[in-house]
Amino acid sequence: MVINLGKDNSIFNNFIAELRDSQIQQDSMRFRRNLERVGEIMGYEISKTLNFDEIEVTTTLGLSKIKVLKEYPVLIPILRAGVPLHKGMLNIFDRSASGFISAYRKVGKNEKFTIKIEYVSSPNLDDKIVVICDPMLATGASIVEAYKALKSFGKPAKIHIASVIASVEGLNYIKKQLPMQNITIWTGAIDDELTAKAYIVPGLGDAGDLAYGDKSDF
């Protein structure tokens, strides 16, 4: 299942518009905050799909029955662009455990690249709800490699993939590579084109660089 939150009219689209705007992007603090706000809204939407229990809360005047979240999901950002998105999710799921995945593009001959996983840290994922945070779902390779890397930590009950902008090609790749009966993809927009270097068009550019500054390749 793919859920495009940007197709409906809401304040959510204001944040997507600012993330795309090349002038507003020059303010890296605002860029990070907009990623965070997208994460907060996506977290809220994901919470609607989770399980709830009814509890009694004692007020100053009596008892109130309220349905509250039964279990918090495990939040796993793909570094480094996924950090602000993860922070937004953590603002909503404030009792969640977190894992972390470090992944990068290893460029070879003819500018072709593969995704390399350098580091993975995660709690046990058996029967857990997992949310993988990666702002740009371009080729889909990062998500597929992250999924493979997490398999050694257990078998989740459900996986949610949170991306700000996805490409049609990336979505199709994930659908072919992963067991979609157990996965839901949440995104703010779906763009049609990828460049030769696998950047989404119109996209927004390199989310990691815009959030934290240019990186040096060595």
33 within some domain: yes
Specify if 122 maps to a domain.
Answer: yes
Domain that holds residue 143: 2-212
Backbone dihedral region for residue 24 (phi beyond 0: left; psi -120 to 50: alpha; all else: beta): alpha
> Does the pTM of the predicted model rise above 0.85?
yes
**189 vs 198, higher pLDDT:** 189
pLDDT digits (tens, 9 = 90+) for 138-192: 999 999 999 999 999 999 999 999 999 999 999 999 999 999 889 999 999 999 9
Average pLDDT over residues 73-86: 94
Q: Quick check: is 85 in a domain? A: yes
Percent of the chain as helix, strand, coil, to the nearest 5:
35, 30, 30
Say if 217 falls within a structural domain.
no
Give the tens place of pLDDT for each residue, 27-40.
Answer: 999 999 999 999 99
* Number of structural domains in the chain: 1
Strand 100-107 relative to strand 113-121, pairing: antiparallel
Is residue 157 in a domain? yes
Residue range 61-78: average pLDDT? 96
CATH number for the domain spanning 93: value is 3.40.50.2020
